[in-house]
Structure 1
Amino acid sequence: MNERQLQHIIPSHPTSDGDGVKIRRVALFDQPVADPFLMLDELSSDNPDDFIGGFPPHPHRGMETLTYLRHGSLEHRDHMGNRGMINSGGAQWMSAGRGVIHSEMPAREMQQLHGFQLWINIPAKDKMQAPKYRDVSAAEIPLITHGNGMQVRIIAGRWQIEGNDIQGPLTDLAAHTGYLDIELPAGSSLSLPTPAEQNVVAFVYQGQLQTQPLAPEKSLLVFGQGEQLSLNAQSDTKLLLLSGNTIGEKIVHYGPFVMNSIEEIEQAIQDYNAGRFGRD
């Protein structure tokens, strides 16, 4: 099989969002090599002052979010009447479509939060579809373990892992997105078949893979085309592995709106300001 090689290293940067929530962000709106992925935020702190303000009500249009928690709790509420709490190991998927107004708030008594939010682009033909939402509990997420300490959680998509063909609970994401959370002990390796037509990226949130050049921790690694990917851990390593079909369309981004033209962005702003946002 044609092996994927590391092509780009995109660093993350500290910033804040919502009501002062401290995050590390990889912004990908101007990075077509990561298409269909738009942004990845990591939230990680054991100081409640860094996250307790959460993300009060705000709008979205034209994109999807997938929130995955390693530790902590977040409550989602939206204009459609959805209300759900995810806890450690769980995930929330939201397709904003033509418009969602929602909030994401941490549990008040929580002392630690560690999780990720991925933004996924939606093709132009589907951007104005009806919004959707789903909670996924930790118990619904398949876990593959190995005697050497390797762990792989299959959150979205279909993967072949250690000879097992496994489907994650989330199957309707835009661009046929796949999503794994992988833990590799130092010196171990994992080889995965990957669809040749998809882009594949990895966010190493702890440790370091053996790559040329070496990628700093908290970086997004973009791999070239191929049918197989080999991950080799230089140290105890934890990473998210993402795959998705290339959309290949112009991206115009303004705050929480992701469309294909300035005119569509202006329409989204007008709809929201006029109180039409979130209506069927």
Structure 2
Amino acid sequence: MAYRTVNQILKSHPSSDGDGVRIQRVHGFENPHFSPFLMIDELKSLSPDDYIGGFPPHPHRGIETLTYMLSGHFQHKDHLGNTGELRDGGAQWMSAGKGIVHSEMPMMSNEQLHGFQIWINLPASKKMQEPQYHDFQSDVIIEKQLSDNNLIRVIAGDLTIHGETLAGPLQQTGVPLTVADWQADNNEQIQACLNPDFQAMLYVYQGEITVDGLSVQQGQLALLSNGESLAITSHGHCGVLLLAGTPIDEPVVHYGPFVMNSMDEINQAVEDYQNGTFV
């Protein structure tokens, strides 16, 4: 059985979005080994000044977003009438499809804010489908306590851990994928089996891990080799996002909130939005 190893390490970098919300970002729009994912934004703050403006109404086309909050709340509103407020440990999924206009407002819980928004590409055949939205509070996220200090949470897709398959609440996405959160204390281990056709990566949001003896530290993202199995060891208290999915072998053209397959399609999205025919 082939174990996955680390092919490349990318560092997150400070950025801002929306109305000045401070984030740590890793993007892979031009990196085929990132697919089907496009970008990971980490929101982490102890000061409301870092995010108080939130993300006022803005459009999207051609992507899905998955938002996951470790601590804090995240309010969603869109032009379809969908509303939702994530609480600690919850997640929300939105497929923009042919077009959606939404706003997002992060809020602290217990004087903390820590969460992630993951952009996921849509294949050309689904970029103009009808938009969709679902949220999942913490109590429906699938958890497995592997030991007193070793917890896996499966948010999307299926993940086989130590021979047991866990199915997350989010199953119907534009491409087959798995998203999970591993939290562990020092010198804990996890062994996972992944679909060998999936590309996979690990984002370390706390502490340090090793994969096949190679260190991956807080704020770094490791792109993994192909294989059926993955073994990770924690060093200190750690938190890791595992993202895996079917790569999309199509051109990626990105302009602001739009991700399409050609510049003509981007221009059409901009024109539709400006003319009021976007949705």
Normalization by structure 1: what TM-score?
0.96
Which whole-Å CA distance do the structure 2 matches of 1:232 and 1:74 have between them? 31
AA aligned to 1:84 is G
1:35 is matched with: 35
**Aligned equivalent of 1:217:** 218
Q: Write 1 or 2 for the structure with the bigger share of strand.
A: 2
Matched-pair contact (CA < 8 Å) for 1:64–1:93: yes
**Aligned pair 1:57/2:40, yes or no?**
no
C-alpha displacement at 1:213, in angstroms? 4.2
> Cα 1:116–1:108, aligned 2, differ >3 Å: closer, same or farther?
closer
Given that 2:107 and 2:113 are in contact with CA atoms closer than 8 Å, whether structure 1 keeps it comes out as: no
Query: How far is the alpha carbon of 1:36 from its aligned partner?
Result: 0.6
Is residue 154–residue 166 contact of structure 2 (8 Å, CA) maintained in 1? yes
SS in 2 for 1:174: coil
In structure 1, what is the equivalent of residue 76 of structure 2? 76
- Per the alignment, residue 14 of structure 2 pairs with 14
Equivalence map 1:93-172=2 (5 Å): 93-107=93-107, 111-172=111-172
> Which segment is superposed worse, 113-122 or 147-156?
147-156
**Residue identity in the other structure for 1:23:** I
Residue in structure 1 matched with residue 187 of structure 2 by the alignment? 187
Q: CA offset at residue 108 of structure 1?
A: 7.9
TM-score (norm 2): 0.97
Partners in 1 of 2:21 and 2:156 — Cα distance?
26
Q: Distance in 1 between matches of 2:242 and 2:144?
A: 15
1:10 and 1:265, CA in 2 relative to 1: closer, same or farther beyond 3 A? Answer: same
SS of 1:111 mapped into structure 2: coil
Indicate if the aligned counterparts of 2:73 and 2:108 stay in contact, CA closer than 8 A.
no
Structure 2 gap segments, 5+ residues each: none
CA contact (8 A) 2:146 2:152 kept: no
CA contact (8 A) 1:48 1:112 kept: no
CA drift of 1:74 comes to 1.1
Contact 1:60 1:96 in 2 (8 A): yes
Q: Give the Cα–Cα distance (whole angstroms) in 2 for the partners of residues 137 and 70 of structure 1.
A: 11
Deviates more, 1:6-15 or 1:159-168: 159-168
Counterpart CA distance in 2 for 1:189 and 1:165 is: 17
Q: How far apart, in 1, do the equivalents of 2:120 and 2:106 lie?
A: 23
> Distance in 1 between the 2:125 and 2:233 partners?
39
Moved over 4 A (4+): none
The Cα of 1:185 is off from its aligned counterpart by: 1.7
Q: Is contact 2:126-2:174 (8 Å) kept? A: no
Equivalent residues of 1:73, 1:110 under 8 A apart: no
1:235 maps to 236
Aligned to 1:268, the other structure's residue is in SS state helix
Tell me the percent identity: 45
Paired residue total: 278
Is the Cα–Cα contact under 8 Å of residues 209 and 217 in structure 2 kept in the other structure? no
1:125-161: CA deviation from partner (whole Å, max 9, x where unpaired): 1100000000111011011112241011110001112
Task: Tell whether the 8 Å contact from 2:72 to 2:109 is kept in structure 1 after alignment.
Answer: no
**Cα pair distance change 1:108/1:188, threshold 3 Å:** closer
Q: Distance in 1 between matches of 2:92 and 2:5?
A: 31
Alignment match, 2:254: 253
Q: Deviations over 1:208-252 (max 9, x none)?
A: 112454333111111000010111112221100011001111000
CA distance 1:86–1:138, change in 2 (3 Å)? same
2:273 equivalent to 1:276: no
Q: Tell me the CA shift for residue 81 of structure 1.
A: 0.6
The 3-state SS of whatever aligns with 1:269 is helix
**Aligned residues: CA RMSD:** 1.3
